Amino acid sequence: MNKIELLAPAGSLEKLKTSILFGADAVYCGGLNFGLRAGADNFSVEELKEGIEFAHQRDKKVYMTLNMIPHNKELAQLPEYIEEIRELNLDALIISDPGVFAFVKKEMPEMEIHISTQANNVNWASALFWAEQGAERIILARELDRDEIKEIAAKTEGKVELEYFVHGAMCISYSGRCLLSNYFVGRDANKGDCAQSCRWKYHLVEEKRPGEYYPIEENDQGTFIMNSRDLNLAEEIPELIEIGLSSLKIEGRMKSVHYAAAVVNTYRQLIDQYYADPENYQADPKLLAELRKISHRDYTKGFYYGKPGSEGQRYESSSYLRTYDFMGVVKAYDPEAQEAVVEVRNKIFKGDELEFIVPGQKTFTIRADYLLDEEGAEIEAAPHPKQLIKIPLTEEVPIGSLLRRQKEN
């Protein structure tokens, strides 16, 4: 059995490197055009070159999104864009539109193509159709339950790879093809500019009673009628592997570096532990708890056990649950002085209890008994983002490890 791929989001060059360092087998990112995350720090051609080189040096892969649903005027820009990315040595393109697919197949016949979840792949016949056109992988719709996934896997075995989302934000619209944002604010979700209108607070207004707002639930603050909880299938890893999937995908190109590190690190360790001893595998509760330390909405299993009812939504609020702050990134370690050089992201105080997220390891906590600035002078606090400081650390950790601090109640 080939080991299942762990595929992580890369909304910026820093997030790409973080995901790779923390154990992703592959990352997916967007260029400056034709992707579906206009709000992400999408990659320039130069950044893509650097990111791909970084990944390939570590025997990892980079997939780029080309999954926009283009109108004629956008389609006219495609030939020039293909020329820009032709020499990048990408491992695959993620595509949803048949016209874009046909163009890429003609102009870049050697390029591996993955069919985006935006293409609404919910049955085995659709998967086989794309396989016959030359697609190497199908990214399944999130609206599938486990029995449907099993059937698709059985009927496509050996003909096409299957990828499935296991963690992150859920879109209220079928396979993410939403018109709410376009209708309300003129921002097209199918061109990467979603305003997340489904997360807004809504009241009901009757036509003949203008100005009278009726909450849809019994709550005078309104209700969030389309606000899905976040997907979390970490406990289902054994079955997801046995079903016959090729890749487990984490959502979140617009999420933080902390999110990328913590989620990838958790899934990496859970997957590795399963392969090490499948018969006796039990999901480590401490690892599962890591997924509650990142910024997230209440979790759901999505459609995995069938269509979610009201338990799949959060009606009270669209806000995130945040119990930890991302504090900094380890840039170096001095074993003689037993100090870590840290690039600050949020204000760190002398005496703080800081938790380290280390690739391939469980987290651990230290107390910052002192802080030193770059000149070696002791300071009481490090308030400036990107400021470099030294903190005591008795054991060496890899460059790129992260620090966080629990929020006060």
Instruction: Render 286-338 in DSSP notation, one character per residue.
Output: HHHHHTTTSSBPPEE-TTTTS---GGGB--S--PPB--EEEEEEEEEEETTTT
pLDDT of residue 376: 93
Residues 249, 166 contacting (CB under 8 angstroms): yes
In terms of pTM, does the model score above 0.95? no
pLDDT of residue 194: 66
- Max CA separation in the chain (angstroms): 76
Q: Which CATH architecture has domain 324-406?
A: Beta Barrel (2.40)
* Residue 339 phi, psi (nearest 5): -135, 145
In the beta sheet, which residues pair with residue 5? Answer: 247
Task: Give CA separation, 97 vs 7, 34, 70, 299, 330, in Å.
Answer: 22, 11, 8, 31, 41
The span from the CA of 212 to the CA of 106, in Å, is 57
Sorted by sequence, the CB contacts under 8 Å of residue 214 that are 6+ apart come out as 203, 204, 205, 206
pLDDT of residue 311: 56
pLDDT of residue 204: 66
The span from the CA of 223 to the CA of 227, in Å, is 9
pLDDT of residue 308: 73
| DSSP tag of 408 | P
pLDDT tens digits in sequence order for the chain, 409 residues long: 589 999 999 989 999 999 999 999 999 998 766 654 444 456 788 899 999 999 999 999 999 999 888 889 989 999 999 998 898 999 999 999 999 999 999 999 999 999 999 899 999 999 999 999 999 999 999 989 999 999 999 999 999 999 999 998 866 665 655 555 565 566 666 555 666 666 566 666 767 777 776 555 544 444 455 567 789 999 999 999 999 999 999 998 888 999 999 999 999 999 999 999 999 999 999 999 999 999 877 888 988 998 875 554 554 555 567 889 999 999 999 999 999 999 999 999 999 999 999 999 999 999 999 999 999 999 999 999 999 999 999 999 999 999 999 987 6
The full set of domain ranges for the chain reads 5-174+228-312, 324-406
Q: Does domain 5-174+228-312 have CATH number 3.20.20.70?
A: yes
The span from the CA of 301 to the CA of 240, in Å, is 13
* Residue 318 phi, psi (nearest 5): -105, 5
pLDDT of residue 213: 65
pLDDT of residue 37: 46
DSSP SS3 for 283? coil
pLDDT of residue 300: 87
